Amino acid sequence: GAGEPLLVVEDMIVGYGRIEALHGISMHVAHGELVTLLGANGAGKTTTMRALSGLLPLQQGRVLFEGTDITRIKAPERVIQGLIQAPEGRGVFPGMTVQENLDMGCHARPFKKKAEYTQTLDWVFELFPRLLERRKQVGGTLSGGEQQMLAIGRALMARPKLLLLDEPSMGLAPMVIQQIFRIISEINDQGTTVLLVEQNAQQALTRSHRAYILETGSVTKTGGGRELLHDPAVKAAYLGVA
């Protein structure tokens, strides 16, 4: 209903066999928000994303999407419901063209009308003009930044209600990182709710409405993006300043 968050995570415990990676994390994402889960290497960011996508089972806790309990719903059904994770840049299909990669994005959530397909494709090319220029080039020969753009563009072809992004800045040059984050903000401004997991605190916190700090499998702090950017402990741990 109205005022209800799009995503609610309650006391989520996830592990690998006997190794517990997430020790009961709780968080939410409201409609229209851009929220970051900030964490260092091994904090549990990827584990969180995989659990939200339905690729890893919860050992305890619940996940609600649009007010419905989806804890035991399988990954493909979550995609149909609009919970879409962009693959990492390296996750694009290297032998397929940019166009073919984008078309794979709507495969799991087909369009009912050709006009809607064309409209969405135009929107993706508007956000990423580079992809239009490289439409016929195979994914494997794109630069790292272009592959990341393609990964996000492919996810957008599935018309996400919630877009999950796993470290979109990974391995990219500072200029390209800025560009990617600018486009993520734009996607959010245009109405798509985004949950981002990142290590790049500066860019992610600057752009986020709110953020959660994840440390060794637990949420240790939460607040507004700008607020956390100026938090002394966050600065020391994630921005390399005392």
- Comparing C-alpha atoms, which of 230, 240, 152 is closest to residue 194? 152
23/161 with CB nearer ligand ATP: 23
Task: Kindly state the smallest distance separating residue 58's Cβ from ligand ATP, in Å.
Answer: 14
Residue found under tokens 């390296």: 90
Which 106-135 positions form the footprint of ligand ATP (CB under 6 A)?
Answer: none
Own/partner pairs for 119-125, CB < 8 Å, 24+ apart? Answer: 120/156, 120/157, 120/159, 121/157, 123/156, 124/153, 124/156, 124/157
Task: Kindly state the smallest distance separating residue 216's Cβ from ligand ATP, in Å.
Answer: 7
20/103 with CB nearer ligand ATP: 20
46/178 with CB nearer ligand ATP: 46
Q: Is 19 in the site for ligand ATP (CB under 6 A)?
A: yes
CA angle 26, 29, 32 (to 5 degrees): 175
Task: Kindly state the smallest distance separating residue 196's Cβ from ligand ATP, in Å.
Answer: 13
CA angle 155, 170, 27 (to 5 degrees): 65
22/157 with CB nearer ligand ATP: 22
43/106 with CB nearer ligand ATP: 43
150/213 with CB nearer ligand ATP: 213
Task: Kindly state the smallest distance separating residue 112's Cβ from ligand ATP, in Å.
Answer: 36
Number of residues counted as binding ligand ATP (CB under 6 A): 11
Task: Kindly state the smallest distance separating residue 50's Cβ from ligand ATP, in Å.
Answer: 8
Contact with ligand ATP (CB under 6 A): which of 9, 21, 92, 155?
Answer: 21
- Per-residue x/- track, 35-74, ligand ATP (CB under 6 A): ----x-xxxxxxx---------------------------
Query: Which residues are near ligand ATP by CB under 6 A?
Result: 16, 19, 21, 39, 41-47
